[in-house]
Amino acid sequence: MVTGTAGKSILIFGGGLNQLELIREARRLGLVTVVIDPQADPPGKREADFCHLVAGDDYEATRAVALRHNVSGIVTGQMEKPLRLMARLADEMGYIFNSPGVTEKATDKWLMKEAFIAAGVPCAAGILISPDDDPVSKLDAGPSFPVIIKPRDAYSSRGVFRCSSVEEVRSYIDVSRSFSSSGDILAEEFVEGREYSVEAVTFRGETTIIQFTEKFITPYPRTVETGHLQPADLTGEERESISVTVIRALKALGIGNSASHTEVMISDKGIVVIEIGARLGGDFIASYLTRASTGVSMDRAAIQIALGIKPDLQKTRDAFSMIRFPELPAGESVIRVDDTGDIEALPGVVFARLFVKPGDIIPEISHSAHRPGCIIAEGQSREEVIRRIEIYSKMLTAKAELI
């Protein structure tokens, strides 16, 4: 328990599997945990002190919960959806959070790009294509092929495609638009190079880089993440250059009190910022992966920031960690899923879980929510953690019986 938090309440947005460590860290800090979730029985319900069923867009119900429990702060982990509502609530009630204007730039990829360009932050050239626009004429004035098309305000690789021609854009544009609240999509130049993410914490305008993450994705045209490894295989000079660029990008958006997850590319043109999430990194990067490699709990840091407390960012570990999202054959039916407890007891395993259940039909992996499970392991070397992941991934997929 940390002085200054005991007995206070905190409102946690989301009680899903990827929020469990956030709830647990809040309880370790002595806080009363108040969780809201659009599902009636999320995993976090059993770990929270209070759990309320609240629709994700219900501002008045959210506000009522905050007042009822007299919460001292608001926080979420890897969730993108509640950020706008949280910013509005914080603005009205005085909680520590990014302002509505900053949050809009951090959730709207076009506004984000405009902010980067205005501040001289290197980013991919791009154009905005609205539903009323003719894609061909817009693309004629835009970046040359190949391009990446993406929804203006989606997340988790939804609707993101690499296209090599106008014909490919036409074939994917409706799918991409279906994930955009406005129907707007971006077409960006395809930046070729090595892709990474940067996990950071900003408190009162000062940013601390916690870890560099190496990213693995599906074959094009889709760009779904299949795994992450920490620390990324970077030189000291590359780390320094990336750090300077990321801090500039965070300042360009105006992020002052927030964890962040920044995607960058090292290309032949130098470092290019792809986009920033003004939140903890998804895919269990913040909750398990970063803690396993550095000892830093970014969940705890996010809570402390929400309460105006200087976050604990002292690194206590120097290890390697990796997550993989193994595949199962698309189109097959799940008839049985065995418990993964024996895998979690193996050397170096941090977390193992299959997300599928009996009766499910395995979908083609078109975005992150389609991945059937994950395995996270740690090791003392890059080689050791990769070897463990290779072995444990096969053991995990064997837990699902398919037909």
pLDDT for 361-382, tens place per residue? 999 998 889 999 999 999 999 9
Alpha helices in 120-226 (DSSP H): 135-140, 166-177
Tell me the β-bridge partners of 264.
196, 273
Residues 28 and 54 in one domain: yes
pLDDT of 41-84, one tens digit each? Answer: 999 999 999 999 999 999 999 999 999 999 999 999 988 999 99
- Nearest one of 18, 65, 62, 22 to 43, comparing CA atoms: 18
Q: Answer with the one of 170, 189, 208 that is the final residue of a domain.
A: 189
**Number of domains within the chain:** 4
Q: In which order are the strands placed within the sheet that holds 185-189?
A: 126-129, 185-189, 147-151, 161-163
Residues 92 and 155 in one domain: no
Residue 1 counted as domain residue: no
Residues 146 and 183 in one domain: yes
Residues 273 and 295 in one domain: yes
- Nearest one of 324, 322, 323 to 382, comparing CA atoms: 322
Residues 211 and 181 in one domain: no
Measured CA to CA in angstroms, residue 82 lies from 20, 113, 233, 358 at distances of: 17, 21, 33, 30
Provide the terminal-to-terminal Cα distance of the chain, rounded to the nearest Å: 49
Residues 62 and 89 in one domain: yes
Residue for token digits 């500039």?
248
Give the residue numbers spanning the domain of 218: 193-306
Residue 1 has pLDDT above 70, yes or no: no
pLDDT of amino acid 2: 45
Q: Answer with the one of 262, 280, 306 that is the final residue of a domain.
A: 306
Residues 298 and 390 in one domain: no
Residue 119 counted as domain residue: no
Structure tokens at 161: 């495609």
Cβ pair 148, 188 in contact under 8 A: yes
DSSP state of 286: I
Q: What is the mean pLDDT of residues 282-296?
A: 96
**Which residues, 6 or more positions from 3, have their beta carbon under 8 angstroms from its beta carbon?**
none
Residues 165 and 212 in one domain: no
Residue 388 counted as domain residue: yes
Residues 171 and 227 in one domain: no
pLDDT of amino acid 142: 82
Residue 3 counted as domain residue: no
The percent of residues in the chain predicted with pLDDT above 90, rounded, is: 91
